[in-house]
Amino acid sequence: MTGLKKNLDLSADDKRKSIEPNNNRISVRCQCRLLGLSRATYYSCMPAIGKESDANLEIMKKIDMLYLERPFLGSRQMVLALRDLDCHVNRKRVQRLMRLMGIESTLPKPGTSKPQPGHKIYPYLLKGHEITRPNQVWSTDITYIPLRRGYMYLVAIIDWNSRKILSWRLSNTLDTLFCIDALKEALNKYGAPEIFNSDQGCQFTSTAFTSVLINSGIHISMDSKGRALDNIMIERFWRTIKYECIYIKEHNTVKELTDSIERYIYYYNAIRRHSSIGNETPDKVYKQNTGVKAA
């Protein structure tokens, strides 16, 4: 069994990377058992593939690019915008694909203020709030990431003051677990922020997610419905990573995508200079103000 790591203290990500799906002697099931990794956790890093036709995947890429530029587009306007790209699809199809991608117009709609049953919605705490130091405010969001023959979802956590990406995860479903994994990694590496901001997505309003924040003594803030700029820092990061990393190269596999994102986030944190923080790097600004070593 070449290359298979037997150390049960490895992180879930390292265990996933240790699996050899093409190993003819030991099945994936057996490898997962030896590593103490559930098969569900392993397969969560596989692309959502085969569920949509190539034609739909191409439409989803176009929707993603249009939405990045104009997040206020609802399904009606999205249909018209797609026609301008010589992509003729009906509204029902666009509605389904937008739901699948986890996106909706940022414009307020009747009834959108109603919270999901059983999920507490917290007030937005950042209005008029001056953010002057790292670990004062973190925020998170999820975005759709296209692959050549499938797609994934990316969650990231950003420090507002330094613009540093503190942690990230990929998943093939819009579940809560990969969001919690990213949150716990950031807390373990960098301690707790004063305020944590997110949208009102079910992943972030779930008790499983908010309990981690509450147990760490963190104040919870959530975007108001129809307020696209409430979580502006992570929205800007999505635009940056997609234009500078995702759209410029077609990624064929989850491994290719993971390696590409890992390289880009290192570049974004440690090398890329940001005009919004005095043409410094996020790592430098974060370390100067916290003394925490960049990771």
Handedness of CA 201, 206, 208, 212 (dihedral sign): positive
User: Ranked by mean pLDDT, which of 71-80, 156-165, 243-252 comes out on top?
Assistant: 156-165
pLDDT tens string 36-72: 766 556 555 555 544 688 899 999 999 999 998 888 8
Give residue 152's pLDDT.
92
| pLDDT of 240 over the 80 cut | yes
- Among residues of the chain, what percentage have pLDDT more than 90? 56
Q: Map out the domains of the chain as residue ranges.
A: 12-43, 54-101, 137-290
Is residue 30 very low, low, confident or very high in pLDDT (cuts 50, 70, 90)?
Answer: confident
150-159 β-sheet, strand order? 165-171, 150-159, 137-147, 195-198, 219-222
Task: Check if CATH label 1.10.30.50 holds for domain 137-290.
Answer: no
| 179 contacts 211 by C-beta, under 8 angstroms | no
Residue 122: alpha-carbon gap to chain centroid: 21
* Residue 115 phi, psi (nearest 5): -70, 160
Give me the amino acid identity at 43.
Y
Higher pLDDT among residues 53 and 77, named by residue: 77
Higher pLDDT among residues 38 and 220, named by residue: 220
Q: Report the alpha-carbon distance of residue 98 to residue 197 in Å, rounded.
A: 24
